[in-house]
Structure 1
Amino acid sequence: MTLLDDLPHVTSFFGADLKTGSMIVAALGVLHPMAYGCTAFISLSYLLVTIWILVALFFAASVVLFCGIVQNDALFCTIWIWYALIFVVLMLMMMTLLAIVFTSRQQRTRVIFVILGIVWYILTIYFILVVNSHRKALSYKK
């Protein structure tokens, strides 16, 4: 029994089975950093550099998740889940700080994009639950 076993169980990913849903989550995790790579922030701050580093590590964790799904390996899924839990908490805090900075500079468009990012990271919590439910299914098969 681990702490991950205490997380809520979901039965599907928006109607799809858990393996397909986990594969979609892995694909989104691989595509997610491209949104940051395509942004054109003129001034780089330590906050933005930290966000980019965390997102790059999330990309790597998503590749690990993809390999875990293909190989039906619960350990790879567990690695992604633990990193994603830490990632979501840190990103929600940093996106809130970024929203405060952009609000103080009266950059409304950037504030809107940051708020959309916050909503995305809240949705990522659901993605974690989907992958964790798939991990549980893999663990109970063995």
Structure 2
Amino acid sequence: MNRALRLTAVSVITASLLVGGGAAAFAAPAQLHSPAPVSATAPATASLTAKANVSAVRAWEEFRIAGTSHDLAAGTKVTVQQKQGTRWVSLPAQTPVSATGAYSVRVKLGIKGVNHLRVAVDKTVSPEVMVTVR
């Protein structure tokens, strides 16, 4: 190869590595479009249940949300989320899943009215639980 052609080839490969990453520069077309790997803590088949031990509480009164997980590793932390407007916001209430898949987490709420809650791990979420704060 002449020097100009080698320099051009090296420049193209270097640019591909910088822009698309090493795998993208040399990957076959099927590899470029393969799905991203699933998180080890929450497989695609994972699921959660949730149930509050009360339906109504006074502001800042403690209650529990308990449930079970399916296909989550023991020790995986589940987090309580609260719907605020159109967004789900994580609360500072989390607990690890036991070896049997069960969990129970203590929660205190101060926003009066009906609160929509759920339990989540990565993209795996439980059905909504509603608790009214008086």
TM bracket, shorter-chain basis:
under 0.3
Higher strand proportion (structure 1 or 2)? 2
Task: Give the alignment's TM-score, normalised by structure 2.
Answer: 0.23
Say which structure, 1 or 2, has more relative contact order (CA 8 Å, 6+ apart).
1
Structure with bigger helix share is: 1
Bigger radius of gyration, 1 or 2? 2
